[in-house]
Chain A
Amino acid sequence: MKSIAFYIGILGLGTALFSACDVIENPLPAPITKPALSTTLALDSAEAAQDSINGPVTPTKKVLLEDYTGHTCGNCPGAAVMAKNQKALHGDRLVVMAVHANYFARFDKAPYTTNFTTPEGEEWFESFGFISNPNGMVNRVKNGANSAVLGVAAWSAAIAAEMLKTPQISMNLTTLYQPESRKLDIKVRSKYLTNKSGKYSLIVAITEDSIVSYQKNYGATAGGDPAYPVGDVAKYVHAHAMRKVLNGDLGSLNKENPKADDITHAYFTTTLDPAWRKEKCSVVAFIYEEATDEIVQVEEVHLH
């Protein structure tokens, strides 16, 4: 009897294990609801009004600096200083996005409990082969070692080199914000300026500037920011932290084999987290070539 009970038990356990397997027939979730027609029309109108005010715009090559950082990384404030200096030097032509990711961005130990991380930031950290912070990417252009990851010291030269390139795409961002619901509608218009081959994808992200939160800071000689005390700085001002990516780490296909003068329109809707200050938020949109991962153009608009 004992052995019969035992084998029944084993059979039950085996059945339970075999049933522990989900087979998915529809991998992709239902498509994200596009903005209602009234919203897209409103965005189109706002864009037309903006165009009439701006008049013809000469396309400009803009550059994205992604600063991979973390609040327990004591030499990351030094990298933030470098990013700030570069921003001061290049103005609107440089878009900076602080991507908090990996070990130094963990938020499970006091006082570092602010969650700056995003799934996309973590994914980029892994997939682009980052090992530690601070490090960065400039337009995700690969260096000689076949990696897009750049140490802080290499940022300025890489930015300068990217600035010299001819613009390939002209991008325009239009936003509509509803304070009551905190709903944000975005339109990204992209105009390809030359014939190109391959697939070009668009990624849209929300950043928030001037967030006061803890940050570990080393001495200036160890890569810290001398403007702050050494140690756990309670009132550190975090600049342009990436808060959310609206369309995944790979983004969405914008155009395949585009021809010169091809224009694309992409619409997005999101809701700003109540903890984010809208007036400090910006929309960052960039287009990259799938085959190389290199960013061809980036644009930023502040919500104010």
Chain B
Amino acid sequence: MKRIAFLGLLAGAFLLPRFSQAQLLQDAQIHGDFQLDAQYYKEDKAIGAPEVKERLLSNGFANFIFTAGNFSAGARYENYLNPLQGFDRRYEGSGIPYRYASFQKDNFEITAGNYYEQFGSGLIFRAYEERGLGLDNAMDGIRVKYMPVRGVRLKGVIGKQRAFFELGEGIVRGADAEISINELSDKFSTLNTNITLGGSFVSKYQADDNPDFNLPENVGAGAARINISKGNVNLYGEYAYKANDPSAVNNFNYRPGQALLLTASYSQMGLGISAGAKRVDNMDFRSDRNATGTVLQMNFLPPLTKQHTYNLPASIYPYATQPLGEMSYQAEVSYNFKRDSPLGGKYGTNIAVNFSTVKSIEKDSLNDETTKRRIYDSDFFKFGDERYFSDFNVELQKKFNSKLKATLTYLNFYYNIDVVQGLVGKGNVRANMAVADVTYKFNSTHSVRTELQTLLTKDDHGSWGMALVEYTVAPNWFVAVLDQYNYGNKETDQRIHYMTGTVGYNRNTSRISATYGRQRAGIVCVGGVCRNVPASNGLLVSITSSF
């Protein structure tokens, strides 16, 4: 009841006067979710896990969302006492950094307070939360969405971005328009080809307080996009341009930024083909030119490499998008051999082949550090000489019978540590990987899943092995044991087992799990955006629940 009263009060504070409280609560609903990750740390010199002064650290979140007809309001309480290792210490403390109220009327949708938003694929604007990275660049301001006629969608935003429990220095304002040609009139709706056009513009303002440079206080960026689909084919293209945006990240380079994203896909029964290409040049875009890491990012550069989920390929050498310059392309073909065919067997077989590569952009030095500071020139269509990353992988999924199914994966990686992780002198890694994921279902409630993985390389820390056994008693319990073993490390004392054991319990929409063991130092990436993770050893308890 207290929660209802609190949110009712919040709603009332934002509502237009003509809505009465009685009308408001007529079809009111409250829902929300909760997450707590608390870890007890112990020092582990073997893996470089430091002593944690507080011993126990935790990150906690609770969302409460109130809806009533066309009105909604919500708030998120966050608690970092103190932040888990690897999360920025500036999160320390607790508070309500996210709260909003929103209503829809006459084709308008108005949001006041915090909101997340994205224009197109995010090349010039994306405000989002990625909790696993400690990334939350939510806007705090006003957002207006309007549909003047069918098929035309307009958005306008203004505000500041969240930086921990405060707001960033810069003011962000932007607008986006999207026109779906086929929706404009009945005449177009019968066309076989669907066309959607979009355009957006974003500008940020930050005062120039730097004595060393004449800085642009207003920095603008624009993007145009088109999506065409016909039958089984879909094409998408977006181009973005950013005006001079000298910042700490680009070493106060005044060169304008550019990005191009092209994707194409074709699908028919059992067959899927997709291909994409991307060029990024000086497109790090933040509402504070002095911010670094994942702080106050205004845009998102979609990765054009496969986002792996298996432990070794996902955690040892994950690729991080290079916003200052990269060119990449990716292609994937997947085919499903039909049931009862020679290769399909009784249940069918799926095979997917994926290849991606990322290289530097070509750069010709301008030697203008003391004049225009554009630093380099670059041919838009030329690759540079340096390879950052490539990934060739084949995945085979096969169900053998009603109890047994397996996924087999082979991967070949090239990984430029110095560029991707920003280190010096670590060189490149060439690695072959294999993953066998086998699930055996004993009956409708009991099943066991095993993963065996290996990463073979002579570079960096050498080869790794990984084994996982996970036993599930549906729908409530699961227990898992995982071991990552750096058996190929040239330094024998670094051939370390990173073993963890997990027990979890699910009940309806709630889940509690406890994991005990070691976590290796490295980087964690989601969608090409990464954070460093220090080594740790201890007990992690996670609770999630929603209502």
Whether A119 contacts B210 by the Cβ 8 Å rule is: yes
| A103 interface residue (CB < 8 Å to B) | yes
Q: Which residues of chain B are within 8 angstroms of A10 by Cβ–Cβ distance?
A: 154
Number of interface residues of A (CB under 8 A): 28
Within 8 A of A (CB), among B223-240: none
| B243 interface residue (CB < 8 Å to A) | yes
| B347 interface residue (CB < 8 Å to A) | no
What distance in Å separates the Cβ of B430 from its nearest Cβ neighbour in chain A? 22
Whether B89 contacts A23 by the Cβ 8 Å rule is: no
Within 8 A of B (CB), among A215-252: 248
Q: When the two chains form the complex, which single residue of B89, B292, B373 contacts A27, counting CB atoms closer than 8 Å?
A: B373
Q: When the two chains form the complex, which single residue of B156, B214, B248 contacts A26, counting CB atoms closer than 8 Å?
A: B214
Whether A18 contacts B216 by the Cβ 8 Å rule is: no
Whether A28 contacts B370 by the Cβ 8 Å rule is: yes
Whether B173 contacts A17 by the Cβ 8 Å rule is: yes
Whether B243 contacts A23 by the Cβ 8 Å rule is: yes
Q: Which residues of chain B are within 8 angstroms of A26 by Cβ–Cβ distance?
A: 214, 372
| B478 interface residue (CB < 8 Å to A) | no
Q: Which residues of chain A are within 8 angstroms of B218 by Cβ–Cβ distance?
A: 20-22
What distance in Å separates the Cβ of A120 from its nearest Cβ neighbour in chain B? 10
When chains A and B are docked, how far (Å) is the Cα of A23 from the Cα of B222? 14
| Contacts A103-B89, A132-B89, A146-B423; A21 near B220 (Cβ below 8 A) | yes
Residue of A nearest to B295 (CB): A126
| A131 interface residue (CB < 8 Å to B) | yes
Of listed A20, A127, A146, residue having the most chain B CB within 10 A: A20
Interface stretch, picked from B33-41, B130-138, B201-209, is B201-209
Within 8 A of A (CB), among B132-185: 148, 154, 156, 173-175
What distance in Å separates the Cβ of A189 from its nearest Cβ neighbour in chain B? 24
Q: When the two chains form the complex, which single residue of A17, A21, A28 contacts B174, counting CB atoms closer than 8 Å?
A: A17
| A181 interface residue (CB < 8 Å to B) | no
Whether A29 contacts B211 by the Cβ 8 Å rule is: yes
Within 8 A of B (CB), among A1-36: 3, 6, 10, 13-14, 17-18, 20-29
| B459 interface residue (CB < 8 Å to A) | no
Q: Which residues of chain A are within 8 angstroms of B216 by Cβ–Cβ distance?
A: 21-24
| Contacts A20-B218, A27-B372, A29-B214; A103 near B90 (Cβ below 8 A) | yes
When chains A and B are docked, how far (Å) is the Cα of A24 from the Cα of B201? 19
What distance in Å separates the Cβ of A17 from its nearest Cβ neighbour in chain B? 5
| A123 interface residue (CB < 8 Å to B) | yes
Residue of B nearest to A151 (CB): B50
Interface of B is mostly: loop
| Contacts A17-B203, A20-B205, A27-B214; A3 near B148 (Cβ below 8 A) | yes
| Contacts A103-B90, A123-B290, A146-B423; A28 near B243 (Cβ below 8 A) | no
When chains A and B are docked, how far (Å) is the Cα of A132 from the Cα of B90? 9
When chains A and B are docked, how far (Å) is the Cα of A10 from the Cα of B252? 34
What distance in Å separates the Cβ of A206 from its nearest Cβ neighbour in chain B? 15
| Contacts A10-B154, A13-B156, A123-B248; A24 near B215 (Cβ below 8 A) | yes
Within 8 A of B (CB), among A93-115: 102-103
Q: Which residues of chain B are within 8 angstroms of A22 by Cβ–Cβ distance?
A: 216-219, 243-244
| Contacts A28-B370, A126-B290; A13 near B175 (Cβ below 8 A) | yes
When chains A and B are docked, how far (Å) is the Cα of A28 from the Cα of B371? 7
Whether B201 contacts A18 by the Cβ 8 Å rule is: yes
When chains A and B are docked, how far (Å) is the Cα of A29 from the Cα of B246? 14
Whether A126 contacts B248 by the Cβ 8 Å rule is: yes
Q: Which residues of chain B are within 8 angstroms of A290 by Cβ–Cβ distance?
A: none
| B379 interface residue (CB < 8 Å to A) | no
| A44 interface residue (CB < 8 Å to B) | no
Whether A122 contacts B211 by the Cβ 8 Å rule is: no
Closest 4 CB pairs of A and B: A21-B220, A22-B216, A20-B203, A27-B373
Which residues of B approach A to under 8 Å, CB–CB? 88-90, 92, 148, 154, 156, 173-175, 201, 203, 205, 209-220, 222, 243-244, 246, 248, 252, 254, 290, 292, 370-373, 423-424
Known interface pairs A27-B252, A28-B214, A29-B212; 8 further A-B residue pairs with C-beta atoms within 8 A, sorted by A's residue number: A20-B173, A23-B243, A24-B254, A26-B214, A27-B214, A103-B90, A103-B92, A119-B209
Which residues of A approach B to under 8 Å, CB–CB? 3, 6, 10, 13-14, 17-18, 20-29, 102-103, 119, 122-123, 126-127, 131-132, 146, 248
**24 A-B residue pairings within 8 Å (CB atoms):** A3-B148, A10-B154, A17-B174, A17-B175, A20-B203, A21-B203, A21-B220, A22-B219, A24-B244, A26-B214, A27-B371, A27-B373, A28-B214, A28-B370, A28-B373, A29-B211, A29-B212, A102-B90, A119-B209, A123-B248, A123-B290, A126-B248, A126-B290, A146-B424
